[in-house]
Structure 1
Amino acid sequence: MPFYLPLKAAHFHNAFRPVEEPLHAKMEKPKFSLSALKSTRGALHMLQIVMCAVTFAVSYVWGHPLHTYWIYCMLVWGLCPIISLVITIVEMFLIHKLILGFFMDWDDFTTGMAMMASLCTFSCTVMFANFYICRKCIWGWMVTILSVVCCALYCAETFRDKCDATRSATYVAALPGFIKILEAFVACIILISLIGYVGKPALLWCIVAYAIPLPLTLLTIIVNILTKLKNCLPFSIDRFTMIFLVISILLYISAAILWPTYSFKGNPRPKDCPGNSCVWSIQFVVTIMTYINLGLYVADLVLTCLGICGFKRSQ
């Protein structure tokens, strides 16, 4: 006599339930699409790549001053088009649809990169106009004009992205992340402008105070961009950021006191002090940038505290 086990209704229902596809099977596979090139953003990216490459080449052929400002400008004109090229390739092959499932808000990331490139190319324009332009410096004029065009192209992309209501702005392209970008940007300007510190221990401490927050700021930006990594951390990134900001503020307060005190004590501004070669003027730039970054870190700490306390953060 056959023996039958009673089947529960749940077992009967599960037996006919369709097998759910794994996550990687649901995700759309990369495909090639020319729409990324045909769009306005694609055209801007192509122009950015070409103009930055031309600016880099003209500056390289013009000469090799090997000043920190010139090296900074060459890095900007070399890295910005690479970022634009990578973004274009990712969007051309629709790879960003895979990235969305794992790492970041792609719209926020690309807009943030455009904003950062706008800042960097603008600073290069100002530096070249100040340090390398003269009445007979044809190459200096050419590089400055090309840099203005590069900056205008990145500003156009930034303006277009910010005016597009369909694009999200969750961190880098919003106020909390953009303040972090400004902190890193100002710190870079300070570090390439440091001069006149040899034999002065107090000013050497200022260099340490400027250098410590920069990598931590970049690390915070990266962790917040990689959302999956942020969610896997065993601690709150906002609380870590608050501690780091308090340390950064204390370091910058010490630098804000020591740098002008030991740079300008017994060192009045010379009567003949051209902006492109005067040590006093460059030290003054470092002083101003120190106070600007101190204010940025204080504002960042306020935003972070509001976020930890449960208030709505400004976007």
Structure 2
Amino acid sequence: MSTRSASPSGDAGFNVCCFLRLPQLCSTCVAFSLVADMRTPRGAIGNWAMSFWCICFAMTFVVAIVECCRHPSHLPFFWYNISVTYACYAALLCLSASIIYSITYVQFLPYGPNRDRAIAASAFSCIASVLYVIEVAGMRAWYELKEIFFYVHTMRALLKVLETFVAGVIFAFLSSPSLYLHQPALEWCVAVYSICFILAAVVLLLNLAEWEYRLPVPFPLFQLVLTLLSVLLYVSALVLWPLYQFSEELGGQPQRTSDGGCRDELTYDMCTWDQRRAVAVLTAVNLLVYVADLGDWARQVSVGTEDQPRDS
């Protein structure tokens, strides 16, 4: 394990990031408090958004406590990778909550205090996502990356974050087992999402803990094989999920109007057809991310080198 410590400029960056904790905590707290105070049923969408804001608030609070109790020079180096990785996830969580909550819930609310609270919650969620992005960008600018290497600031790390995050959103839309339990092909798709999520999470954790070189095989080759496997699995899911969900011959519903639960009004829950469509779109998005990841690792293996920290 590396014993590197932060540089003086790193301490400055650490202190600035600490000042971001309070507005991050306030914005996420206000977001879920406004929604919790609404006197109308929140439904699955409201509960889903609230859970995201609560998770971000709780994790930010834990990070703030750790950073307040320990001087940056006493924190292990991998802590900075972990905290920046969390900031990446928090930014994506708050941004996705703002977008989905606004599109599927807020726009259907009647004008009044509840609508105003919902709009304000979405606004504070956007503010929180911006604050987390500032933290990620700030850590990159404030620390001397020519001397201290941050795995999270590499393209391959950002791709892993995206792969696991998109898979997590897919799982959120698959919260109803009725979407897939009636067809073995759809159950296979859910297995694909789970397997690929676990593989990407393992690789991300190996890199964050700096254990990637303890493997018995070269890490680029190991990563290339796992990514190729994930691409093939996602290709099968991209074919099977729309085929069995939207093909009438296979028991699917080709049109949104064929789902009686889908109406252009506030229903507090996303209808089944929209959930199916969301999973199909996210499957295609994650496949593109995996293909980009595969191309990067294929290039690494072909030249036989890995990206190293840049020389000062």
- Normalising TM by the smaller chain, what interval? 0.7 to 0.9
Matched, 1:239 2:221: yes
Q: Greater shift after overlay, 258-267 or 303-312?
A: 303-312
Equivalenced residue count is: 279
Deviations 1:155-192 (CA, angstroms, capped at 9, x unpaired):
23234334446355532222010100000011111111
What does residue 11 of structure 1 align with?
none
CA offset at residue 256 of structure 1? 0.4
Aligned-residue identity in percent:
25
CA offset at residue 235 of structure 1? 3.9
Kindly report which structure 2 residues correspond to 1:213-224, keeping only aligned pairs within 5 A, or say none.
Answer: 213-224=196-207
Matched, 1:151 2:151: no
- Counterparts of 2:229 and 2:199 in 1: how far apart (Å)? 11
What does residue 12 of structure 1 align with?
none
Matched, 1:76 2:56: no
- Counterparts of 1:159 and 1:208 in 2: how far apart (Å)? 35
What does residue 85 of structure 2 align with?
112
What does residue 296 of structure 2 align with?
303
CA offset at residue 296 of structure 1? 1.1
Q: Greater shift after overlay, 86-95 or 297-306?
A: 86-95
What does residue 19 of structure 1 align with?
none
What does residue 8 of structure 2 align with?
none
Asked if structure 2 preserves the Cα contact closer than 8 Å seen for 1:35 and 1:92, the reply is no
Matched, 1:58 2:29: no
- Counterparts of 1:84 and 1:169 in 2: how far apart (Å)? 23
CA offset at residue 231 of structure 1? 4.0
What does residue 255 of structure 2 align with?
269
- Counterparts of 2:135 and 2:4 in 1: how far apart (Å)? 29
CA offset at residue 131 of structure 1? 2.4
Q: Which amino acid aligns with 2:221?
A: R
What does residue 101 of structure 2 align with?
128
What does residue 14 of structure 1 align with?
none
What does residue 87 of structure 1 align with?
63
What does residue 240 of structure 2 align with?
258
- Counterparts of 1:307 and 1:89 in 2: how far apart (Å)? 39
What does residue 282 of structure 1 align with?
275
Asked if structure 1 preserves the Cα contact closer than 8 Å seen for 2:238 and 2:280, the reply is yes
Unaligned residue ranges in structure 2 (runs of 5+): 6-10
- Counterparts of 1:261 and 1:269 in 2: how far apart (Å)? 13
What does residue 231 of structure 2 align with?
249
- Counterparts of 1:124 and 1:281 in 2: how far apart (Å)? 16
CA offset at residue 252 of structure 1? 0.7
CA offset at residue 265 of structure 1? 0.7
CA offset at residue 44 of structure 1? 1.1
Unaligned residue ranges in structure 1 (runs of 5+): 1-25, 29-33
Q: If the length of structure 2 is used for normalisation, what is the TM-score?
A: 0.76
Structure with more relative contact order (C-alpha pairs < 8 Å, separation 6 or more) = 2
Q: 1:56 to 1:82 in 2, by over 3 A?
A: same
- Counterparts of 1:73 and 1:218 in 2: how far apart (Å)? 23
Q: Which amino acid aligns with 1:170?
A: F
Q: Greater shift after overlay, 44-53 or 268-277?
A: 268-277
Q: Secondary structure at the match of 2:256?
A: coil
Q: If the length of structure 1 is used for normalisation, what is the TM-score?
A: 0.76
Asked if structure 1 preserves the Cα contact closer than 8 Å seen for 2:95 and 2:129, the reply is yes
Asked if structure 2 preserves the Cα contact closer than 8 Å seen for 1:180 and 1:217, the reply is yes
CA offset at residue 59 of structure 1? 2.8
- Counterparts of 1:108 and 1:43 in 2: how far apart (Å)? 19
What does residue 188 of structure 2 align with?
205
- Counterparts of 1:165 and 1:96 in 2: how far apart (Å)? 12
- Counterparts of 1:27 and 1:110 in 2: how far apart (Å)? 16
CA offset at residue 249 of structure 1? 1.4
Q: 1:308 to 1:87 in 2, by over 3 A?
A: farther
- Counterparts of 2:196 and 2:27 in 1: how far apart (Å)? 33
Q: Secondary structure at the match of 1:268?
A: coil
Q: Secondary structure at the match of 1:295?
A: helix
